[in-house]
Amino acid sequence: MKENHKNINTVYCNSNAWESLKTTLNKLNPSKIFILVDENTKEYCLHLFLSRNLYNSEFEILEILSGEINKNIETCLKLCNQLSEQGADRNSLIINLGGGVITDMGGFVASTFKRGISFVNIPTTLLSMVDASVGGKNGVDLGMLKNQIGIIRNPEMVLIDTEFLKTLANNQITSGYSEMLKHGLIHSKKYWNEVKAIDETNTEALEDLLWKSVLIKNEVITEDPFEKGIRKTLNYGHTLGHAIESYFLENTSQKTLLHGEAVAIGMILATYISNKLAYFPKETLNDISFHILKKFQKNTFDDSAINEIINLLKYDKKNDKGKILFVLLEDIGVPKINCEVPNPLILEAFDFYKNYK
Ligand code: GLY
């Protein structure tokens, strides 16, 4: 790490992060500490956490199965039952050790169990480091519809240790990198140029930019914690991205698409639409499509898939009075929220994606 202290509000990265967690635990003095893991973080990340000798009493382990498919209310009920059986009270603490599924769901359980107990997020994937663990969005899917049930409530602390990135497969890194590209698109040409130029699989190259992404996200959510305005810009590429992700979750015969992979497609589509509706420059649309498709393999969508995806847009959380509202860009760093987009233009955007070479 080139820079030593990276912390903002309650988010700590690397050098002083573990010490800060120790201080937080001592201050909270919880009656019991539960660590939520999945089979992957139990095997690859838990030992790093335990080796830090953070607290003078035992940790109880809560384990769930990995994958978006398990991010539902049934898993939450199982977790609440386990907490209850294992004697959790209102002064207990949950430490969420994992990716976005763990932090989203662990935060939701912590926010509702006994009307709310404290929690700490330790994101272990790039996606959860730069996005899911910051900003207090907790929740679960409803069937295949993404994040339909949830609450905005902040953890006591977020600890980012980039050592965890070494436990990830490349496609997991690239999925998180997609959110960093999004930060570039909504924030500034300078950051877009920096992010698009790195090799995301090189942890050293990634570290400083990862922190810049956290700062960008933090700036946005501090200004608008409950997504009344500017926070919507963090959904760039997500309107169609979430619908594409739901479509792939629903159609199990299709390959599995990671969140960032779906958002990458969503960003190309949203940028095409931005060119048509918000004067976004054509040559920049080509630059963005080129850089995204250099990192993310193209997917095929037939007409029935596209129709199903368009149909899923009616569940988007930004919708208002039945209107489907997109975030578009007038230029890189100049987002525009609450834009209505006619369906024929969405079809055109898919054509652009399919034919882009
Ligand atoms: N992932 C978008 C947000 O936190 O608002």
Q: Can you give the pLDDT at residue 10?
A: 92
H helix or E strand, kind and range, residue 353: helix 343-355
Query: 216: how many CB neighbours lie within 10 A of its CB?
Result: 20
Going by pLDDT thresholds of 50, 70 and 90, the confidence category of residue 294 is: very high
Mean of pLDDT values over 33-57? 93
Q: Round to whole Å and give the CA distance between 139 and 3.
A: 33
| Ligand 1 neighbour 100 (Cβ under 6 A) | no
Atom of ligand 1 at shortest range from CA of 179:
1
- Position 5 scores a pLDDT of 65
In ligand 1, the atom with minimum distance to the C-alpha of 231 is: 5
Q: Answer whether 137 contacts ligand 1 (Cβ < 6 A).
A: yes
pTM of the model: 0.94
Q: Among the atoms of ligand 1, which is closest to the Cα of residue 234?
A: 2
Radius of gyration of the chain (CA): 20
What DSSP character marks residue 230?
Answer: G
pLDDT at 1 over 60: no
> Largest Cα–Cα distance of the chain, in whole Å?
61
Judge if the beta carbon of residue 259 lies within 6 A of ligand 1.
no
Distance 348 CA to ligand 1 centre (A): 27
Structural domains of the chain ordered from first start: 2-167 (3.40.50.1970), 171-355 (1.20.1090.10)
Q: What is the mean pLDDT of residues 286-300?
A: 96
Vertex 149, ends 180 and 84: CA angle to 5°?
A: 110
Task: Give me ligand 1 centre to Cα 94, in Å.
Answer: 22
pLDDT of residue 4 exceeding 60, the answer is no
Residue 293 clears pLDDT 80, i.e. is over it: yes
The mean per-residue pLDDT over the stretch 266-295 comes to 97
DSSP states of 130-197 as a string? IIITSS-EEEEEETTEEEEEEEE---SEEEE-GGGGGGS-HHHHHHHHHHHHHHHHHH-HHHHHHHHH
Instruction: For 168-215, write each residue's pLDDT tens digit.
Output: 999 999 999 999 999 999 999 999 999 999 999 888 889 889 999 999
In ligand 1, the atom with minimum distance to the C-alpha of 137 is 4
Residues of the chain with pLDDT > 70: what percent?
99
Q: pLDDT class for 255, splitting at 50, 70, 90? A: confident
Window from 37-46, 189-198, 230-239, 315-324 with minimum mean pLDDT = 315-324
Query: Rounded to an integer, what distance in angstroms lies between the CA atom of residue 101 and that of residue 94?
Result: 15
- Contact criterion met (CB below 8 Å) for 11 and 218: yes
Higher pLDDT, 288 or 6: 288
| Residue-averaged pLDDT of the chain | 95
CB 271, CB 325: distance < 8 Å: no
From the CA of 235, give the closest atom in ligand 1.
Answer: 2
Confidence label for 290 from pLDDT (cuts 50, 70 and 90):
very high
Cα of 257 from ligand 1 centre, angstroms: 19
Give the pLDDT confidence of 106-135 residue by residue, as tens digits: 999 999 999 999 999 999 999 999 998 889
| Cβ of 150 less than 6 Å from ligand 1 | no
User: Could you tell me the two tokens for 150?
Assistant: 């949830």
135 lines ligand 1 (CB under 6 A): yes
238 Cβ closer than 6 Å to some ligand 1 atom = no
Please give the distance, rounded to the nearest whole angstrom, from the Cα atom of residue 234 to the centre of ligand 1.
Answer: 5
Task: Specify the pLDDT at position 203.
Answer: 85
| 155 CB within 6 A, ligand 1 | no
The predicted pLDDT at position 357 comes to 87
Say yes or no: CB of residue 46 within 6 Å of ligand 1.
Answer: no
**3-state DSSP assignment of residue 320:** strand
